[in-house]
């Protein structure tokens, strides 16, 4: 009987302690929520929502107009996502690259945290607004870009990659849709003569060699077309700086032709081309000879043969007769006069990503692709600002 009473007492004690722990956890979580600074740009009186700009790899971007006390206005692009881990990672990378003239700027020392209309927790990064849209929309309007424009844009991309790679990162998602254009105006005539280019969307950025990261995870069947990925990244899932240089080659080719790489390949035949060592995007004869040599370097089968971003800046394709200083990112506006004047998107709507539903095709490959894609992650109730 004594043993039975002792057993009952132990059971009751366990339930009591479990209840205390639960209440304590609830109290701690409640206090943390009350202490958290919960607000979004839409909550600030001086910020007015203008429009939805588009969606990136894991979040959406909205445009806000900021009015100061003296009546002056400016625009801010706020990237928001419920995926705390990914947006926190992007903010950390952008903070480390702050000051680089070829990387999109952020306007805060920490992430902004708030709630959406239905109470879900979301996080925001305030960034500079690219009124000329993306390189993707620019190519869509202008089709084939002239030689001088291609060279200037290529130089700016490489300058950004030098900054990224010098910090030990690989962008992993370099493509025209992630390259932002900012108009450069003539101070005397107030007319747009050319554009500054900056790299954006660091949601998939990884440290070099970070193969087994939780950020990347293989899914089968693969959704979409990894047309900007290098053979080794598709075949082996490896992350190296040479991946970004292959992607750069795809972008340069697209600027010259107005078409995506592998455009001559049927969508359902891509499996035979992705991951094959000897398969490279077709370079048409219309591409200038110096550009062809540059592309051959970017599309080298062995990653180590592609060189580095700093070395490519000194390639004859970019240096040419101008003898331009490779890392000159602070030259005066006159530096850009030699670029041909290209048409900006006809409407503001053309300068942002279209909001129509994306038509996604599903492919079931015969053999596994080792391209790793970051899965969406549920939002967390705890957030620590990143400085």
Q: What is the structure's pLDDT at 230?
A: 87
pLDDT at 345 over 90: no
Q: Which residue has the higher pLDDT, 95 or 29?
A: 95
Q: What is the structure's pLDDT at 6?
A: 56
- From the annotation, which residues make up the binding site? 79
Q: What whole-number distance in Å separates Cα of residue 133 and Cα of residue 250? A: 20
Q: What whole-number distance in Å separates Cα of residue 192 and Cα of residue 213? A: 43
Map tokens 């990224």 to a residue.
164
pLDDT at 68 over 70: yes
Q: Are 218 and 374 in contact (CB under 8 A)?
A: no
Q: What is the structure's pLDDT at 191?
A: 67
Q: What is the structure's pLDDT at 113?
A: 87
Q: How confident is the model at residue 372 (pLDDT cuts 50, 70, 90)?
A: very low
Q: Does residue 173 have an active-site annotation?
A: yes
Distance (Å) of CA 107 to CA 43, 67, 82, 114, 254: 17, 15, 20, 17, 32
Q: How many CA atoms lie within 13 A of 39 on its CB side?
A: 8
pLDDT at 362 over 80: no
Q: What is the structure's pLDDT at 354?
A: 36
At 119, list the tokens.
């109470």
Q: How confident is the model at residue 373 (pLDDT cuts 50, 70, 90)?
A: very low
- Mean per-residue pLDDT, 39-49: 70
Distance (Å) of CA 36 to CA 121, 195, 200, 293, 382: 12, 40, 28, 55, 9
Q: How confident is the model at residue 322 (pLDDT cuts 50, 70, 90)?
A: low
pLDDT at 307 over 70: yes
Q: What is the structure's pLDDT at 300?
A: 94
Query: CA geometry: angle at 105 spanning 113 and 384, to 5°?
Result: 30
The mean pLDDT of the chain is 74
Q: What is the structure's pLDDT at 190?
A: 65
Report the candidate in 317, 224, 228, 225 with the shortest Cα–Cα distance to residue 281: 228
Domains of the chain with CATH codes: 41-128 (3.30.200.20), 135-351 (1.10.510.10)
Q: Specify the pTM.
A: 0.72
- From the annotation, which residues make up the binding site for ATP? 79
Map tokens 């060279």 to a residue.
151
Q: What whole-number distance in Å separates Cα of residue 259 and Cα of residue 273? A: 17
116 alpha-carbon distance from chain centroid? 23
Q: Where are the beta strands (DSSP E) in the chain?
A: 47-55, 60-67, 73-81, 112-115, 121-128, 169-170, 179-185, 192-199, 206-207
Q: What whole-number distance in Å separates Cα of residue 342 and Cα of residue 156? A: 17
Active-site position among 83, 173, 201, 244: 173
- Specify the range with the lowest mean pLDDT, choosing from 108-112, 131-135, 366-370: 366-370
Q: What is the structure's pLDDT at 272?
A: 65
Q: Indicate the burial class of 17 (C-beta count within 10 angstroms; 0-12, 13-18, 19 or more).
A: exposed
- Specify the range with the lowest mean pLDDT, choosing from 101-105, 217-221, 252-256, 327-331: 217-221
- Specify the range with the lowest mean pLDDT, choosing from 176-190, 303-317, 372-386: 372-386
Q: What is the structure's pLDDT at 47?
A: 82
3-class secondary structure, 234: helix
- Specify the range with the lowest mean pLDDT, choosing from 93-102, 112-121, 156-165, 361-370: 361-370
Q: How confident is the model at residue 71 (pLDDT cuts 50, 70, 90)?
A: confident
- Per-residue pLDDT of 209-235, as tens digits, reads 775 444 444 443 333 347 888 888 877
């Amino acid at each position: 009987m004594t043993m039975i009473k002792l057993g009952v007492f132990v059971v009751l004690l366990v339930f009591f302690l479990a209840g205390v722990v639960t209440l304590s956890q609830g109290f701690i979580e409640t206090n943390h929520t009350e202490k958290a600074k919960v607000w979004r740009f839409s909550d600030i009186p001086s910020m007015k929502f203008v429009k939805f700009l588009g969606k990136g790899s894991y979040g959406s971007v909205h445009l806000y107009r900021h009015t100061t006390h003296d009546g002056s206005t400016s625009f801010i692009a706020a990237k928001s996502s419920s995926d705390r881990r990914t947006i926190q990672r992007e903010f950390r990378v952008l903070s480390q690259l702050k000051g680089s003239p070829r990387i999109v700027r952020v306007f805060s020392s920490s992430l902004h945290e708030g709630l959406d209309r239905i109470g879900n927790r979301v996080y925001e990064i305030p960034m500079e607004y690219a009124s000329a849209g993306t390189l993707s929309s620019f190519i869509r309007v202008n089709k084939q870009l002239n030689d001088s424009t291609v060279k200037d844009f290529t130089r700016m991309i490489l300058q950004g990659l030098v900054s990224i790679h010098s910090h030990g990162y690989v962008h992993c998602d370099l493509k025209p849709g992630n390259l932002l254009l900012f108009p450069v105006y003539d101070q005397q005539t107030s007319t747009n003569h050319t554009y500054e280019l900056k790299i954006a969307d660091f949601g998939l950025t990884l440290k070099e060699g970070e193969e087994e990261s939780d950020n990347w995870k293989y899914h089968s069947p693969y959704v979409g077309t990894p047309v900007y990925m290098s053979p080794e990244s598709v075949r082996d899932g490896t992350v190296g700086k040479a991946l970004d240089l292959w992607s750069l080659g795809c972008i340069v080719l697209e600027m010259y032709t107005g078409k995506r790489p592998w455009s001559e390949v049927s969508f359902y035949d891509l499996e035979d081309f992705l991951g094959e060592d000897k398969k490279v995007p077709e370079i048409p004869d219309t591409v200038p000879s110096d550009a062809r040599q540059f592309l051959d370097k970017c599309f080298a089968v062995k990653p180590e043969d592609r060189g580095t971003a700093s070395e490519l800046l000194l390639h004859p394709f970019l240096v040419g007769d101008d003898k331009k200083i490779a890392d000159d990112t602070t030259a005066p506006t006159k530096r850009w006069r030699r670029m041909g004047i290209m048409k900006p998107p006809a409407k503001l709507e053309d300068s942002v990503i279209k909001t129509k539903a994306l038509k996604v095709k599903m492919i079931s490959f015969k053999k596994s692709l080792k391209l790793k894609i970051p899965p969406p992650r549920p939002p967390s109730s705890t957030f620590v600002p990143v400085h």
